[in-house]
């Protein structure tokens, strides 16, 4: 029996750096026609001083500062692995960036932060797109796949207090203090845990929400993803990290995903080395859980995963909007790979949108089944009724 990380490393080492680079330098030099940069068909190429022609890899991203920081980190990793590859970042706005006066749960669209990026990918205007994994629906449009899930940052939520409340906690804030969050998941759990607090929507990117907190007296605190604050270099703003007992996190929270065209084998191969095995398995289980529940941002669904002693543990929960009604269970599965899985890999297989051909298929299957089994358990206990009422209440708000 072999660990997932060992199998991943073994498969990765089979391909030399030269081989990986050469696959992206296969352009016909005659296509450049003496120009330094040109496009041929759906691709873009650059001609260097030594007459070598290389494909330019265009990376799509949202325009926000956090999105650019996250995309730059992926680009830096690719540049380190493939120093001869030329990267170009293409930034654009999404519907979720533009509509800022409505709670995400009320807009009612699954691809708020991804659709425009996927449209560019479909039109061959970019070759890959960097997302926060939690923004990606569990079912991707045909022709797309998640080619890499990077090592997860802290997935927990963080409390950022108004400067006048420094030193306090959610528990010690005065009665009826207003907490800002547009997440039904966060509000439902925290209403149950801290019934003396009130919760109101707050929209905008991280910069905007922090400005709304600091410059007005509307909120005693706001709840944000710890990962985003850390990536922005604003860890000093974190007043407290919410542990799972207080607030479990969103599916995929803290992980970055690289979405590609599933037919683009060279790009898929290039980004696949960015996969973090433990993060991949955790997020496959989480996404399978959410997909089976038919959940999304319009219902409060929360998870917590952990890899420990060659086992994957998944805790999942559903809540009513006020947190008064809930179901929560934990299940586990082994993630030890059988030796036969070393050779049995189908590179076309996607699991809840993720293609990870260098990880043992049987282990990925178990992670996916774990999410399905946990969702089935909650559904048998009445989760569908809780979520149906939550949707109806949210629509009526």
pLDDT tens digit sequence for 356-375: 989 999 999 999 999 999 99
Catalytic residue among 135, 246, 278, 373: 135
pLDDT tens profile 175-220:
999 999 989 999 999 999 999 999 999 988 899 999 999 998 999 9
Domains and CATH numbers, the chain: 53-154+251-396 (3.30.160.40), 157-242 (3.40.190.10)
What pLDDT does residue 17 have?
A: 47
pLDDT digits (tens, 9 = 90+) for 95-109: 554 444 445 444 444
Environment class of 7 (CB within 10 Å of its CB; exposed 0-12, middle 13-18, buried 19+): buried
Q: What pLDDT does 147 receive?
A: 97
* Structure-token match 């030890």, residue found: 336
> In the prediction, which pLDDT does 34 show?
43
322 is a catalytic site residue: no
Mean pLDDT of the chain: 85
At 10, is the pLDDT very low, low, confident or very high (cuts 50, 70, 90)? Answer: very low
Average pLDDT for 139-161: 96
Q: Please give the pLDDT value at position 320.
A: 95
- Tens-digit pLDDT profile for residues 117-135: 898 899 999 999 999 999 8
Mean pLDDT of 388-396: 87
pLDDT 10s digits, 269-326: 999 999 999 999 999 999 999 999 987 777 899 999 999 999 999 999 999 999 999 9
Burial class of residue 183 in the structure, from the number of CB atoms within 10 Å of its CB (0-12 exposed, 13-18 middle, 19+ buried): buried
Task: Specify the pLDDT at position 35.
Answer: 42
């Amino acid at each position: 029996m072999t660990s997932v990380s060992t199998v991943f490393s073994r498969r990765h080492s089979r391909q030399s750096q030269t081989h990986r680079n050469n696959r992206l330098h296969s352009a016909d030099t005659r296509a450049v026609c003496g120009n330094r940069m040109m496009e041929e068909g759906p691709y873009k190429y650059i001609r260097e001083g030594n007459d070598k022609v290389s494909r330019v890899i265009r990376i799509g991203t949202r325009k926000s500062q956090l999105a650019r920081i996250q995309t730059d980190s992926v680009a830096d990793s690719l540049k380190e692995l493939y120093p001869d590859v030329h990267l170009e970042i293409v930034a654009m706005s999404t519907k979720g960036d533009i509509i800022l006066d409505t709670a995400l749960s009320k807009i009612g669209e699954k691809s708020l932060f991804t659709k425009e990026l996927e449209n560019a990918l479909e039109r061959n205007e970019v070759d890959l797109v960097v997302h926060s994994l939690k923004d990606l629906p569990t079912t991707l449009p045909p022709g797309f796949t998640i080619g890499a899930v990077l090592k997860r940052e802290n997935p927990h939520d963080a409390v950022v207090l108004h400067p006048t409340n420094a030193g306090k906690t959610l528990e010690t804030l005065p009665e009826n203090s207003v907490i800002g969050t547009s997440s039904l998941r966060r509000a439902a759990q925290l209403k149950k845990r801290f019934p003396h607090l009130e919760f109101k929507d707050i929209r905008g990117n991280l910069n905007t929400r922090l400005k709304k907190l600091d410059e007005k007296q509307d909120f005693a605190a706001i709840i944000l993803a710890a990962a985003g604050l850390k990536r922005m270099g604003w860890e000093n703003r974190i007043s407290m990290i919410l542990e799972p007992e207080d607030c479990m996190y969103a599916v995929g929270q803290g992980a970055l995903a690289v979405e590609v065209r599933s037919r683009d084998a060279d790009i898929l191969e290039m980004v696949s080395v960015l996969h973090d095995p433990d993060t991949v398995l955790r997020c496959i289980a989480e996404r399978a859980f959410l997909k089976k529940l038919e959940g999304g941002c319009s219902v409060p669904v929360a998870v917590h995963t952990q890899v420990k002693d060659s086992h994957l543990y998944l805790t999942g929960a559903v809540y009513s909007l006020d947190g008064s009604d809930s179901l929560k269970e934990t299940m586990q599965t082994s993630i030890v790979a059988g030796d036969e899985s070393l050779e049995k890999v189908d590179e076309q297989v996607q699991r809840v949108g993720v293609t990870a051909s260098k990880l043992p298929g049987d282990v990925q299957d178990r992670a996916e089944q774990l999410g399905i089994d946990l969702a089935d358990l909650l559904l048998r206990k009445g989760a569908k009724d809780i979520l149906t009422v939550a949707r109806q209440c949210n629509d009526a708000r």
